A and B are shown apart, each in its own frame.
Chain A
Amino acid sequence: MAVLKAENIRLVYGAGTAFEKTALKDLSFEIEKGEFIGIIGHTGSGKSTLVQLLNGLLRPTYGKIYLNGKDIWHEPKKIREVRFKVGMVFQYPEYQLFEETVYKDISFGPVNMGLSEEEIDKRVREAAGFVGLKDELLTKSPFDLSGGEKRRAAIAGVIAMDPDVLILDEPTAGLDPLGRDALLSQISSYHSVRKNTVLLVSHSMEDIARIADRILVLSHGEKVMLDTAENVFSRGSELEELGLRVPQITRIMMLLRESGIPVNTNILTVEQAFNEIVNLSV
């Protein structure tokens, strides 16, 4: 059964005012348990709106969202339960830190869930481990951390709730290339250890091409594609029209093929490309 299912969801901001804006238009899709989904689209395409709908922070103007087969708005009073199950890391999450220590901040979610003290301690340490926060940082004030460490602490705060579905909205925005790669590989290893569903929002193909099982492409609030990376990239020209880009290395392989060199274009990383080209000349 699909862990998340969206049925004809539409979201209109400021309905009935001069600022009315339809951010999502009749979106439908299903996400299977354990999948790693990349969500991509240009700025303003509705990515953040979509993920906020999925954990019940926004309520669809029309349509339904099912979590494990149950309509999340069936009982609006129990929406908190949905938020525990669908963990959400916002863009620039470091601005939400508030506690005296990093440890306390990470435990904010688990405490709200009403867990026992040992369970909370276990979860906080596990979550910190996943994002690579060293133990000695846990007793520091979150405001004394570096930018990258703050972001990790904030992400750990959501991971500590052990959600069935983890959503990250542009988690690498503003990080340097090294920090970006490190964070992405931590998220990827979290996914392979915990085996739960992860949704990663990004506007960079490079980021998600390697790690996502399937990619959801949004444009102007509409679903354009939901498919594997290979299939999405095989429609490269359509992507370019949407202002998106296939990863540079994939593009190089496509150009090679166009100019008559028989290489495979299902290439997402430099290593794959290297092997492909080396094999070719043999």
Chain B
Amino acid sequence: MKVRLATVWFGGCSGCHMSFLDLDEFLIDLAEKIELVYSPVVDTKEYPEGVDVCLIEGAICNEDNLELLQKIRQRTRVLVSFGDCAVTGNVPAIRNQLGLGNEESVLQRAYIENAQHNPSLPREDGIVPPLLPRVMPVHEVVHVEHYLPGCPPPAERIKALVSQMLSGVEPKLEGAALKFG
């Protein structure tokens, strides 16, 4: 039975996914052992049931992130916080320093004050998800089994953790393999 793997992209720059693609020929080995059931690189619209492992890139920044994360938790056995944004909030969480009301003021700054053309706030019910008042690391919302820090985690580090998981040993990164940044 192939391991049902998912990856998801929340509030992050996609760098963690780029690093995943940097696994080069290991991806070919991986393809024999896993089935990629949901990911920005495959065309599945709905997060499926019965997923074994999900790598989660990005912090939880908006209502869509929050809703999907809860669904992912219900439908997945093992969650991995994948990269610093998922693990710490990282750069997306810098807006938390602005305190209450920042979900308005950051949009104002980005789309009105700094706009060169057509200053307007991106608002479209059901399409543009509202920002949460506070950006959260994944484990602040749901239980997370494993952490894969790094901005982005180097391919070697991803390979180490994924290999450990696939060979059935309890994944454990140590020392410099846990370096943030």
Is A bound to B?
no
